[in-house]
Structure 1
Amino acid sequence: MSGITYVRGDATAPQGKGVKLIVHCCNDLGGWGKGFVLALSRRWPEPEAAYRRWHRERAGNDFGLGAVQFVRAGPCVWVANLVGQRGTRTGSQGVPVRYEAIDAGLEKVAVRAAELEASVHMPRIGCGLAGGTWSRVEPLIAGRLVDRGVAVTVYDHGQA
């Protein structure tokens, strides 16, 4: 349905040739310590350091829901820190995921992927610790990226 390629594997080891842009969902509190970010940090220190600096200096930048920070992690690898969740816990406002923020962030990812002539790689963003459902996220990815000709691969780590 979506034009998204699904594979079993590790999104921090993206497959294929050319420039690769790894997208993941961050919170708006500056927290980096659970979930997919741990795998990112094991592979590259730059995305975490940049995200923490971005949050720390948020009074003077665009940090917030829907914002995306693009960090070069290697010669052909970029990481997109997409702020797509409010907080880190389910509470009176529901689960942390904010679909409208993911959608706004994916718009920025589409522009950057075109500039870099990059393919996009990701886990099921917004659907782990953020508490979202893939049936809500997948159409956003299809509409913002796939429909514009961006190749997207989604990695399922150890499950189908």
Structure 2
Amino acid sequence: MTAGNAIRYLRGDATAPQGKGVKVIAHVCNDLGGWGKGFVLALSRRWPEPEQAFRRWHRERAGNDFGLGSVQVLQVEPHLWVANMVGQRGIRTGRSTGVPVRYEAIDTALAALGGQAAGLGASVHMPRIGCGLAGGRWELVEPLVTARLVDRGIPVTVYDRD
């Protein structure tokens, strides 16, 4: 799948992952329970379950593990799963300074995702997580993806929109 233990980069849509076998689509969510901008809209156009599960997970957070660094993996098709990873503190507003991305939370979530993907025998597919509305820089996220997934032998494909 990946040559020499490297991330594979493709032009295309991360909600339509390429390749055979079990696949997990991974993306970053905020810790406010908000779902309404960015990549999540493309997910919601295909499947209602990731948004419904995320909103329920946030609503019931007093009794679960919801928070920065947490990951929620749910099945949306027979060989396709979506991983909601909480890697963003709040959202950007007109007055906010700094960026919402939290690299340590993405790292923690990717480590957990690595175990789940390995258990499923799955490849992982994603946009450049944390680098859209979360304001992160790919040169800081890419090494986390490599360390937590690729170095564990999990094939990873990153999609860039045309």
Instruction: Pick the TM interval, shorter chain.
Output: over 0.9
TM-score by length of 1: 0.96
Q: Is residue 73 of structure 2 the alignment partner of residue 62 of structure 1?
A: no
Q: Is residue 89 of structure 2 the alignment partner of residue 86 of structure 1?
A: yes
Which residue number corresponds to residue 48 of structure 2? 45
Q: Is residue 123 of structure 2 the alignment partner of residue 155 of structure 1?
A: no
**How far off is 1:13 after superposition?**
0.2
1:123 alignment partner, one of 109, 123, 127: 127
Q: Which runs of at least 4 in structure 1 moved beyond 6 Å after TM superposition?
A: none
Q: 2-side partners of 1:130 and 1:31: how far apart?
A: 12
User: Would the alpha carbon gap of residues 46 and 71 (structure 1) be closer, same or farther in structure 2, given more than 3 Å must change?
Assistant: same
Q: Report the residue type matching 1:156 in the other structure.
A: D
Q: 1-side partners of 2:5 and 2:17: how far apart?
A: 20
Question: Could you tell me whether the CA contact under 8 Å between 1:68 and 1:80 is conserved in 2?
Answer: yes
Question: Could you tell me whether the CA contact under 8 Å between 1:2 and 1:138 is conserved in 2?
Answer: no
* Percent of pairs with identical residues: 73
Q: 2-side partners of 1:135 and 1:150: how far apart?
A: 20
1:136 alignment partner, one of 136, 140, 144: 140
Q: 2-side partners of 1:32 and 1:44: how far apart?
A: 14
TM-score by length of 2: 0.95
**How far off is 1:71 after superposition?**
1.0
Gap runs ≥5 in structure 1: none
**How far off is 1:44 after superposition?**
0.5
Q: 1-side partners of 2:66 and 2:161: how far apart?
A: 29
Q: 2-side partners of 1:2 and 1:150: how far apart?
A: 9
Give CA-to-partner distance per residue, 1:38-95, whole Å, 9 cap, x none.
Answer: 0000000100000000000000000000000011111000000000000011634x20
Question: Could you tell me whether the CA contact under 8 Å between 1:72 and 1:78 is conserved in 2?
Answer: yes
Question: Could you tell me whether the CA contact under 8 Å between 2:124 and 2:157 is conserved in 1?
Answer: yes
Which residue number corresponds to residue 30 of structure 1? 33
